[in-house]
Amino acid sequence: MSSREKILVAMSGGVDSSVAALQLQRQGCTIVGAYMKNWINEDNVIGHCPWMQDIDDARAVCDTLGIEFRVVNLMRDYQERVVTYLLDGYARGLTPNPDIMCNREMKFGVFRAWARAEGFAAVATGHYARRVAHADGTCDLLEGADKNKDQSYFLTLLSQEQLQDARFPIGDLPKPELRRLAREAGLPTADKKDSQGICFIGEVKMADFLRAYVPDAPGPIVQATDGRELGRHRGLHFYTLGQRKGIGVPSNTDHKAYVVVGKRAADRALLVAFDHPDSPGLFQHEVRVHSLSWISRPVTTGRALEGRVRYRDPRVPLEFIPESESTALIQFPTPQRGLAAGQILAFYEGEKLLGGGIYL
């Protein structure tokens, strides 16, 4: 990247975005830090939503670096583009991914548009991912160098235009090195614990979030193999395929644990079975995806690729068989566990992220 670029750094109040700003400053870029104000817990959702502390921490980092700090209010856009998508998906029995949608619609969507209108050439974030620019102006997106922290999966639905305006200054750093740089620079977030909450909301558990906004819709918990009713649940939106904990049905006399293997809309039944490779619906050799999105050149013919079926899972071989411009059949040589409708499948060629699709 050019040291003359004026870059807006998305400051979350965490150490990753703090070091992203530090790295850009050391490269000679003109930078401004900005906190995306997406959510303030005004509806008193149960859970810790430390947006005020995050703003204070982000401002303190910018003060330490001697750079301007801004707060950008994007609450209305976040409600329309992420929260509505999230709640609608769960209400329809899907398992949406708000973090991936937040990156596409907010950080590199609305926030990027705001940055460009303010005269910034690019938006930088604290993602563990690497962007490679080519002579023709196109870019590729690679996994982060630290494979334990790689976050390329969360960027699956970005477009080429969005990637061209994106910067990932910490993509080459291992996490321990990043912490060391933060301490040496005296950044106040150097030892701050990483957030595990919903994208730019905070430490809010998904179940608590859903409980506040999606009405209960009780139904039976049914053993998939013989149809026996084992109990009752509060709503299918609290469960996802492959879930083992929190089902509400104790293990049987042989101490075998139950797992969610399906949802039946007709009577709102939650289907469970024992957690075993032979359990019906738990493992899949093939799946269809829709809403295909490609970072660069679309894959239009059948070919072997690799895929990450969910965040934290390793890349696995797959056969990509296109059925239309927006849908494809995916075949796995090794059956994959718990592929829930609404989740995201990311396609890779080695370390390079090609794009992704949404499970039907």
Give the residue numbers marked as catalytic: 102, 199
Q: Are 65 and 57 in contact (CB under 8 A)?
A: no
Instruction: Give the whole-angstrom CA distance, residue 179 versus residue 22.
Output: 12
Quick one: CA dihedral 182, 185, 191, 196, positive or negative?
Answer: negative
Q: Are 54 and 12 in contact (CB under 8 A)?
A: yes
Q: If 0-12 CB within 10 Å is exposed, 13-18 middle and 19+ buried, where does residue 103 land?
A: buried
Q: Are 141 and 152 in contact (CB under 8 A)?
A: yes
Instruction: Give the whole-angstrom CA distance, residue 170 versus residue 191.
Output: 17
Instruction: Give the whole-angstrom CA distance, residue 215 versus residue 83.
Output: 15
User: What kind and span of H or E run contains 139?
Assistant: strand 139-143
Cβ neighbours of residue 145 closer than 8 Å, sequence gap 6 or more: 128, 130, 171, 172, 173, 174
Tokens at 27, concatenated: 């490269």
Instruction: Give the whole-angstrom CA distance, residue 7 versus residue 71.
Output: 15
Instruction: Give the whole-angstrom CA distance, residue 301 versus residue 270.
Output: 37
Q: Are 78 and 42 in contact (CB under 8 A)?
A: no
Strand partners, 321: 329
Helices (H), the chain: 15-26, 51-65, 75-78, 84-91, 98-102, 111-117, 160-164, 175-184, 206-213
